[in-house]
């Protein structure tokens, strides 16, 4: 089987797919692309969506490749491909349904508010509402999850850990830098969050998905300058 990941080093969505491949110990070729390029080649690779990540899989016994787009779909696919290796989902249907609820919560109630808060150059209602919604989104997640810790999956990571950590890092690095923001501390939810973040930040798959060595944080800050000026990608702010 050959597996190819089309990715962009700075992209938190692509980072999810990259980490999942490493976690499941699936060999793959990493191809760095500029997803904003307007070329017919890239349109073809990304099924007309022009977004990273794209995962292309060609099984040995099949003539056709499968192309999976969207980070959440990639993680689901990898679990289906290797259900018994480094499981990302629980096998119990009710627990799995619960996890899916929180996957949607991260994608719909947390991620867009990070981008909204970052793009809100001027103080005012939009910025305040984005900041408050982000805080509430994370608080709800940490309040409702029974985390025996340190990860959402307990001793081992699961899909929620992989969905959230690229964005948790950007809250810390980008919102810290551009908005002088830090999440609340103290209280049950925030102590859990802090414990989770510190563990996940040091997890090997997260560390291995960072480029530019020691400069990673600084390079990300530089990359997101246009976003902090309201000129970033717009669809990621939609709620
Ligand atoms: N919902 C998608 C979002 C992917 C996405 O927005 N990727 C950005 C880079 S971080 C991208 O490729 N942008 C290129 C564009 O908007 O043309 C996912 O989860 O994979």
Q: Within this chain, do residues 148 and 229 fall inside the same structural domain, yes or no?
A: yes
H helices present in the chain, as ranges: 12-23, 40-45, 71-81, 93-105, 111-119, 125-144, 159-170, 176-179, 188-201, 204-208, 216-223, 225-228
- List residues near ligand 1 (CB under 6 A): 8, 11, 13, 35-36, 50-53, 70-72, 233, 236
Q: Are residues 115 and 70 in the same domain?
A: no
Same domain membership, residue 126 and residue 25:
no
Task: Please tell me the distance between residue 187's alpha carbon and the centre of ligand 1 in angstroms.
Answer: 34
The number of the ligand 1 atom at minimal distance from the alpha carbon of 233 is 16
Domain residues for the domain of 60 are 2-81
Same domain, 103 and 123: yes
Q: How many residues does the chain have?
A: 239
Tell which residue, 93, 96, 190, has the closest CA to residue 141. Answer: 190
Nearest CA to ligand 1 atom 13: 51
pTM above 0.95, yes or no: yes
Q: Do 125 and 168 share a domain, yes or no?
A: yes
Does residue 88 lie in a domain region? no
Q: 81, 116, 150 — which closes off a domain?
A: 81
- Walk along the chain (239 residues) in steps of 10 and give the mean pLDDT of each run: 97 98 98 98 98 97 96 98 96 95 97 98 97 98 81 95 98 98 94 96 98 97 97 93
Q: Which residues of 57-77 are buried (b: 16+ CB within 10 A; e: fewer)?
A: beeeeeeeeebbbbbbebbbb
Per-residue confidence (pLDDT) for residue 7, from 0 to 100: 98
Tell me the CA–centroid distance for residue 92 and ligand 1, in Å: 31
């Amino acid at each position: 089987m050959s597996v190819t990941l089309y990715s962009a080093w700075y992209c938190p969505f692509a980072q999810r797919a990259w980490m999942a491949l490493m976690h499941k110990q699936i060999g793959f070729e990493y191809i760095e692309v500029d997803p904003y390029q307007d070329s017919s080649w890239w349109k073809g690779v990304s099924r007309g969506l022009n977004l990273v990540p794209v995962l292309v899989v060609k099984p040995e016994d099949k003539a056709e490749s499968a192309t999976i787009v969207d980070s959440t779909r990639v993680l689901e696919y990898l679990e289906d491909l290797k259900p018994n290796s480094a499981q990302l989902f629980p096998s119990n249907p009710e627990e799995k349904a619960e996890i899916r609820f929180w996957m949607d919560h991260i994608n719909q109630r947390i991620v867009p508010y990070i981008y909204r808060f970052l793009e809100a150059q001027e103080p005012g209602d939009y910025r305040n509402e984005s900041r408050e919604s982000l805080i509430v989104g994370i608080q709800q997640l940490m309040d409702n999850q029974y985390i025996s810790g340190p990860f959402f999956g307990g001793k081992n990571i699961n899909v929620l850990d992989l969905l959230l950590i690229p964005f948790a890092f950007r809250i810390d690095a980008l919102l810290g830098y551009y908005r002088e923001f830090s999440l609340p501390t103290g209280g049950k939810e925030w102590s859990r969050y802090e414990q989770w973040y510190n563990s996940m930040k040091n997890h090997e798959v997260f560390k291995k998905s960072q480029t530019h060595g020691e400069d990673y944080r600084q390079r990300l800050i530089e990359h997101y300058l246009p976003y902090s000026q309201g000129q970033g990608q717009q669809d990621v702010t939609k709620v």
